Structure formats: structure tokens, C-alpha cells
Chains A and B, each alone.
Chain A
């Protein structure tokens, strides 16, 4: 008999961004039970994590187990005792031949356990093992931990309850509807669960909630914002979008400020007019079915008006004091307890910008870059740091290069985000990030595992991207103050960038980096060359030969030095290889590869490196070492993984 399984963990509102990962976790934990099933579906709303599976057996398959008893030579008493213990007659025992001799044995039939029992035993542990970034306890000290208090649990195998208790909650067949539009207790079966929930204003499927929001906004020019859409999908059980408006006078404020207020503080979509300009409207998503009287719309409009009024008040207040005059205030803004104030940081950044080759305007931008931290607007909307400074600098007549550099200097904030648009902005951004990294590593604030409170990985990734994509060919390693932990940290970031972000093969990245990676622009150029060379027919065999050369050199303990003695070269393949090498030395490998490869192959085919005569052997090793060194400035080709 095959049964459906319904498992719902009823929880107080789970933070929206944690839900998708928690569901995936739940799936993995369930699969680990290895209960046969046909399909698994996972769903969630803020108040429930749901796993539904089809086609579970009522009982696991029976199995057999061989139980060995006393040796065949044992007294009859012992044999009878064994039989009695197994609940069989002595004549039912069989004699088994094992490597150790003959023993009495018995094939025991183990009846398959009831699936219900397996689940009842396993589900409490599964619930508690779902990973959440931050958990709480609620039943008292030492009690179970979960993301928020568990208030009900539905666990049904077919029509039957899978019985267990967790945190004082007994599993059952009662779910709960929408907080305001549904009943608190609703009896369900696996068959009617989704429809019963719908009847109580809970749309179980995230996809359906997503579509309901999209459809509700059809005809409104909403600025696409997939991340906000996901937030709203997991913040609601019955989402209904509505559109509100604001006084067009607020459009005098910078769009960045208006959008931030709507997006980050109110979780509103912003709306555009037909020309793509910001319209005096917003869209919000309610967690109820309708707003017939317009209460919700008017409430949200008033909140937004107050927020915009605040922003306008801050904007006007901030204009009374120029950015340049705010520099001394930065002495009162902590950068990091052990690393001093933002005034100190600014000084270090200005020096770094110069070191990076920044001109007067870039240094000016660095000087003003952190001044917006003392403005009311940034105190209120911290995510607008940099942007606000840039806007104020523009309003205060700073040159385009300067204000844009300030505006951009926190970029890139993610792998998808653009790097600063001009050189000055790139230099200021590099100086900012490098200063943070150097300082934090100096005082031991080094990221471990998932803990990276200062966002150092992102900062280092930003440095790598700006250097490569901004074509800034400075020696990165010279900027790391000789801190080996920081060098290793950057090495990981560089690898990650070229492999995972740019799609180079890992062995190509290893090969190119083994030939040096301080100049990332050069590294990128070499990687592109390797990538182009790789499909050519001579490449992999030559790479294999290089690997062979390296192994020979390593085995011989040869570390170079000395010149090739031409008189010792044997005519034939060895001399030919040497002559070919002298002809192509200094040329890019792209030109040399097709000529070099046959000579190398022939050499290995015909010549014994490990010659009996020590001077000849030494000379051959020198030849190979010279050859390897010549072509290893681009990459250490022996790192390339070949099929041969």
C-alpha cells in the first residue's frame, strides 16, 4: 500500500530570507531517512515549512538476518539454550560453515518497521536539525532551539497521525489558517490540505503568491526588483498588491534617496512613468485580500510622506555645512575601535590613492569620501553612504570626476554590481578597501568560516575586480604590507574570481598563477592566452612534457644554475632540441609551440636524461631547466591537467 505523507511545521513568522534554504535543508534531512517515496514537494509561508511526499510504503520491506550460535561441537545444552533464546526448536537450527569452523545458526526474519514509527522517531530530530543562521529558545533555559517558536505540527501518513511531541507541541492533524482571514484550527488530510488552507486564505505555493503579486501589478510600470519580490512572497500568506501615490514635489529630491526610502525602509516597489522616470507612485504588497476602504493605502501614503519629509529635512539641513568642512567631525566617527576614526582612515586613504598613481582630483575625492558619514541623511539611511556624499559634492560644485568618484567608491557591492565608472573612483574604492583589509588583518580581525563581520571577502573581491576590469596594472602584492595571511586571502579571492566568476578552468588558473599573480591585468592576459592555446593540438602534449620535465628535475633535486655546455650535447634529438630552442627563445609561446613540441617528443623518445656520465646528465638537466624556465613566465604548464 502506498501512502501520502504530509508534514507541516507551524511557526511564528520566520525571517523571509531564511525560508528557501531551510526548505532545502528539510528536503535533504528527509531524503536521508531513505524511506522509499515517489515524489517530494516543499512549500513555505512565513508561518509554515511544509514537506509533502507521495507513495510511501506503510511498512518497510522485511529483511533476513543470519544469527550465529554455538559451535557445532558445543554441548547440546548450549545449543538448546541458543534455540530457546531465538524462540525456535533446536531442530530448526541449521549448521553454517564459516572460515572459523562450523556453527549452529539461524536465519531470523526481521519484519520491516512501520513507516509511521520510523517517522515518529525521526521527525523531532529532523525539525531541530534544520539549519538557521540564528536560533532562539522559548520553552525555558536548555529547551529546544529553532528559528522562532513552534506552535503546531501536522504529521500525517495517509489519514493517520505520526505521533510525537516537540517543545510541548503534539503532532496532529490540525493546521492553522491566515492570522486574520482564517480559522485558528483546521482539520486536514494530505488530500485536502492545500485546498483547506486556501479556503482559510493561505496560498501555500510561493510560485502562486509570486504570480498573484505580478498579476495584481499588471499595467503598473513597476521597476523590476526580483529580490524585493522574493522578500514579499515570503513575508505574506495572502499577498495583495496596492498602488499608492505621493506628492510630486518630493521628486525634487534625488531619485536615489526616494528609491532607498521606498525600497529599503518600506519594502515598496518604485514606479516609472512612460519615459522611464520615477513617477510619484509606489506599489506595496499587503498580507490581506483587499483594501476596499483605502485604509491601508492611505496609511502607507502617510508613512511615506513622513519619511520623505524627514529626508527633505535632512537634505536641507546637511546643505548648511559643506562636505569639506565636515572633515574634522570624522574624528568622532569610529571606523573600528583598534583602527581609529574615519579621520585617520581618510588620511591613510589619501596616501594610498597617491601610491596607486591617483592625481589631484582622485586625492580630493578620497579626502571628501567619508565626510557624508556625519550628515543626517546618511545617519538615517546608512545604505546611501557614498551616494549621498557624491550628490552633496555635486550640489556644492565639486568637479565631475570628484563627485562621481565619491558617489561610486563603495562599488562594487556584489559580484553583479558594476565597478566605479572612472579611474579616480576606482582608485578611491581600491584605497578604501585595501585600507580596511590591511588594517583588519593587522589587528587580527580575520574572517573565519561564515563569520566575516567586516565584509572583508567582499572587499577583497572588489579589489580584484577593480584591478582586473579597471585595467589597473599595479603590483597587488606590494600593497599587502607583507602580511602572509592577507596574501593567502587574496590568492583565494583571485582564484575564485577567475574560476567561478570568469569561468577559466581551475588548472589554467593554477598554471597562470604559478607564474606570478601580483599584476592581475597581466594575469588575466596570460589566462586568455592559455585559454586560446588550449584547444590547439600541440598544447596538451607539450604540457604533459613540461610536467615530465618538472618531475625529472624534482627527482634529480636539480634547482638550476650553470650554463648549457654545447660540446656535451649529443648530435641528433638532443642537439636539435637545443637548436630549436635557441631559435625560438624570446618568442611568444603561441609562435613556438608547433615547432617545439616535435623536438621535445623526439628528445624524450630517444635520449636518456639519466645518462651514466654525470657531466652529461647534469648538462641535460640544465637544458631541460632552461627550456622550462623560458616558457614558464606565462604559466607553469606542468599544472595543466592532461589526459595523457
Chain B
């Protein structure tokens, strides 16, 4: 029976063999692999790109102090982006399941409509949740818009829920019983983290401090965006990637504040819009900057 890490190795190898760059997880907190610059920014513009990476995804409100066998504050997604999507993308995806030891002749696979949408990123796509014997194992999305911009090339995004997939393969009823490596369980590696972050997010996070941090990151992102000049001959030097990091910080702080019950109704929509405005701003500037870099390359 392959371990958690062996399955990750196999999936990475599988997609590396199909032309994907294997990236490491992004080092700023995100709620989903989609938010990483490797997806959010790379899907913009006319450049083809293929990448795969495991991204720990933090959802403060989903924390359960390590008590619930299926729910995690932080879970791992294997994120695959194929831009543009190849015609046989579904066949390639199904073969990736075979590659990790799932005999599809003996299991039931269904593609059920599920269109993904992220209001904070101004992003949405069309697709399915992939059900394996009744278990959702992958979110499959054809991106249509990102940062409010229609995409030139339509990427396929595959998001594998790694804990679920491995629990399925290892026939475990609790994610904490998954074998991470030989003799080491998922619980050994991660349980303490689940407990402590749940305590922090639900009980101890200081609301005024988080709001202050939110304001600081928002201010820094907005300051930088305002300084971006599309006409500047030096614009390719402009630090849009660091700007985006501040947007991600805002997003994570928003989620934490939300799990803390600190965002009132009247504030909520407004705060989402503030983050969205920054994300859209970065996306537009990024697209503009990318075009100039192409010209330079020519």
C-alpha cells in the first residue's frame, strides 16, 4: 500500500512526464492552490504553461481541533495547471488515477457538474467534481476568467484532495490514520498543528490585531498598485509579485477574522470587495507587464 508521500511522488512524476514543471508549495498562506501566483497569475495572458505542485491550503473555519476524522484546518491539494488544456485532458486525468494504483475497471467514476467560483479573486470556471465510488476526489475546472479578465488560453485545473484520495486508497476512516511514511501516521505529523491552529483561530486570535494587519497589508498592496505605471519603460522591474503577496495576506486574514466571528454582516461584502479589487488590480497590471516582456523577448 503506497504511503501519503509515495502517492504524492507518483502524481508529481506522472505530471512531470506530461510536461509539467514541478513547483514547491507557495510560502504565503492561501485558502486554495488556485490562489498561488503559479495559478492565479500564470493563467493570464497568451503564454502556454504547465505546472504541478502540492499546496497546503488553510481554511480557518474548517478546523476541528483535530477531533473530526474528515475535517482539517489545513489540507493538501495537488494542483495541476495545463494551459492550454489538451484535448485528451480527461483521459490523462483518469490515467493519473491508474498511475497511483486505482484500477478503474473495478471502481465507479462519475463527473458531476460543479462550477468553481472565487468572488475574492474575480475568478470562475466550468467543470465537475470527480466522484470515485461516491467520494469527491478531484475538482476539475476549465478556467474562464481570472481577476475579472477573460483568459486567452483556457487552462484545465485539476485539484486533487490528497488526504481524501489517500484515505480512500489506504482504506482509512480517519485522515489521522493515514500512513504518511512507513511507520509514521498523518496524525503523528499534523495533529498538533490542527489542534493549535484551531485554538488560535477560534479562541485566541486577537481581533483588533488582525484588523490592523489586514489594514497594513491592504495599504501596502494599494500603495504599490497605485505606483504601477503602464507607460513606464522600467515597468518590468515593478514588484507585482510582492504586491500580490500582500493581497494573499489580506485574504488569509479575512478568513481568520471570519472564523473568529469578527466580521459583521454589513462589513462582510465590503471586505470581500476590497480584497477583490486588489486581486483584480494585480491581475490587470500583471497582464500589462507580461505583454511588454513578450515584446522585449521578441
| Interchain CB contact under 8 A, B133 and A296 | yes
Q: Which of B109, B128, B150, B269 contacts A334 (CB 8 A)?
A: B269
Kindly state the separation between the CA atoms of A266 and B133 in the bound complex, as whole angstroms.
10
Given contacts A295-B106, A305-B173, A332-B261, contact A284 B134 (CB under 8 A): yes
| Interchain CB contact under 8 A, A180 and B104 | yes
| Interchain CB contact under 8 A, A134 and B126 | yes
Q: Considering the complex, which residues of chain A in the window 340-387 have a beta carbon less than 8 Å from any beta carbon of chain B?
A: 340-341
Q: Closest chain B residue to A344 by CB distance?
A: B265
| Interchain CB contact under 8 A, B142 and A149 | yes
Contact string, B162-189, partner A, CB cutoff 8 A, digits 1/0?
0000001001010000000000000000
Kindly state the separation between the CA atoms of A284 and B91 in the bound complex, as whole angstroms.
25
Residues of chain B within 8 A (CB-CB) of A141 are 150-153
Given contacts A138-B154, A313-B68, contact A299 B142 (CB under 8 A): no
Q: Closest chain B residue to A266 by CB distance?
A: B134
A34 at the B interface (CB under 8 A) = no
Given contacts A140-B153, A141-B150, A341-B265, contact A310 B70 (CB under 8 A): yes
| Interchain CB contact under 8 A, A340 and B265 | yes
Q: Which of B107, B135, B144, B153 contacts A136 (CB 8 A)?
A: B144
Q: Closest chain B residue to A169 by CB distance?
A: B87
Residues of chain A within 8 A (CB-CB) of B150 are 141
Stretch from B111-119, B191-199, B226-234, B241-249 contacting the other chain: B111-119
Kindly state the separation between the CA atoms of A295 and B108 in the bound complex, as whole angstroms.
9
Question: In the assembled complex, how far is the CB of residue B199 from the closest CB belonging to chain A, in whole angstroms?
Answer: 17
Residues of chain B within 8 A (CB-CB) of A181 are 105
A179 at the B interface (CB under 8 A) = yes
Residues of chain B within 8 A (CB-CB) of A184 are 91
Residues of chain A within 8 A (CB-CB) of B90 are 12, 179
| Interchain CB contact under 8 A, A309 and B69 | yes
A13 at the B interface (CB under 8 A) = yes
Question: In the assembled complex, how far is the CB of residue A29 from the closest CB belonging to chain B, in whole angstroms?
Answer: 23
Q: Which of A287, A304, A333 contacts B108 (CB 8 A)?
A: A287
Most buried by A among B71, B105, B264, B265: B265
Given contacts A138-B142, A309-B69, A310-B68, contact A288 B108 (CB under 8 A): yes
Q: Closest chain A residue to B264 by CB distance?
A: A332
| Interchain CB contact under 8 A, B142 and A136 | yes
Contact string, A503-536, partner B, CB cutoff 8 A, digits 1/0?
0000000000000000000000000000000000
B161 at the A interface (CB under 8 A) = no
Q: Which of B84, B104, B134, B171 contacts A303 (CB 8 A)?
A: B134
A412 at the B interface (CB under 8 A) = no
B132 at the A interface (CB under 8 A) = yes
Residues of chain B within 8 A (CB-CB) of A341 are 264-265
Chain B interface size band reads 35 or more
A235 at the B interface (CB under 8 A) = yes
Given contacts A299-B107, A299-B168, contact A13 B265 (CB under 8 A): no
Q: Considering the complex, which residues of chain B in the window 106-158 have a beta carbon less than 8 Å from any beta carbon of chain A?
A: 106-113, 115, 125-126, 128, 132-135, 142, 144, 150-154
B18 at the A interface (CB under 8 A) = no
Q: Considering the complex, which residues of chain A in the window 320-341 have a beta carbon less than 8 Å from any beta carbon of chain B?
A: 329, 331-335, 337, 340-341
B96 at the A interface (CB under 8 A) = no
Chain A interface size band reads 35 or more
Given contacts A139-B154, A140-B153, contact A333 B106 (CB under 8 A): no
Residues of chain B within 8 A (CB-CB) of A291 are 106, 108
A584 at the B interface (CB under 8 A) = no
Residues of chain B within 8 A (CB-CB) of A302 are 135, 168, 171, 173
A286 at the B interface (CB under 8 A) = yes
Contact string, A170-198, partner B, CB cutoff 8 A, digits 1/0?
00000000011100100000000000000
| Interchain CB contact under 8 A, B154 and A296 | no
B1 at the A interface (CB under 8 A) = no
| Interchain CB contact under 8 A, B266 and A140 | no
| Interchain CB contact under 8 A, A148 and B126 | yes
Residues of chain A within 8 A (CB-CB) of B108 are 286-288, 291, 296, 299
Residues of chain A within 8 A (CB-CB) of B112 are 235
B212 at the A interface (CB under 8 A) = no
| Interchain CB contact under 8 A, A331 and B87 | no
Q: Closest chain B residue to A300 by CB distance?
A: B134
Given contacts A12-B111, A141-B150, contact A334 B171 (CB under 8 A): no
B290 at the A interface (CB under 8 A) = no
Q: Considering the complex, which residues of chain B in the window 240-296 have a beta carbon less than 8 Å from any beta carbon of chain A?
A: 261, 263-266, 268-269
A137 at the B interface (CB under 8 A) = yes
Residues of chain B within 8 A (CB-CB) of A134 are 115, 126
Q: Which of B84, B134, B144, B152 contacts A299 (CB 8 A)?
A: B134
Residues of chain A within 8 A (CB-CB) of B265 are 331-335, 337, 340-341
Question: In the assembled complex, how far is the CB of residue A38 from the closest CB belonging to chain B, in whole angstroms?
Answer: 36
Question: In the assembled complex, how far is the CB of residue B195 from the closest CB belonging to chain A, in whole angstroms?
Answer: 16
B94 at the A interface (CB under 8 A) = yes
Q: Which of B94, B107, B115, B269 contacts A296 (CB 8 A)?
A: B107
Q: Which of B70, B104, B105, B113 contacts A15 (CB 8 A)?
A: B113
Kindly state the separation between the CA atoms of A135 and B34 in the bound complex, as whole angstroms.
22
Kindly state the separation between the CA atoms of A594 and B203 in the bound complex, as whole angstroms.
81
A236 at the B interface (CB under 8 A) = yes
| Interchain CB contact under 8 A, B69 and A236 | no
| Interchain CB contact under 8 A, A340 and B109 | no
Question: In the assembled complex, how far is the CB of residue B166 from the closest CB belonging to chain A, in whole angstroms?
Answer: 13
Q: Considering the complex, which residues of chain A in the window 433-453 have a beta carbon less than 8 Å from any beta carbon of chain B?
A: none
Question: In the assembled complex, how far is the CB of residue B129 from the closest CB belonging to chain A, in whole angstroms?
Answer: 11
Given contacts A299-B135, A302-B173, contact A151 B87 (CB under 8 A): yes
Most buried by A among B109, B111, B112, B264: B111
B85 at the A interface (CB under 8 A) = yes
Residues of chain A within 8 A (CB-CB) of B70 are 306, 309-310
Kindly state the separation between the CA atoms of A284 and B135 in the bound complex, as whole angstroms.
13
Q: Which residues of A contact B (CB under 8 A)?
A: 12-13, 15-16, 46, 134, 136-141, 148-149, 151, 179-181, 184, 235-236, 266, 268, 284, 286-288, 291, 293, 295-296, 298-300, 302-306, 309-310, 313, 329, 331-335, 337, 340-341
Closest A-B pairs by Cβ, 8 of them: A299-B133, A15-B113, A13-B111, A300-B134, A136-B126, A286-B108, A341-B265, A303-B134
Q: A12-B90, A310-B70, A332-B265 are in contact. List 17 more A-B contacts (CB 8 A).
A: A13-B128, A134-B126, A136-B125, A138-B85, A141-B152, A148-B126, A149-B85, A181-B105, A284-B134, A295-B107, A299-B108, A299-B133, A302-B135, A302-B173, A306-B173, A310-B68, A334-B269
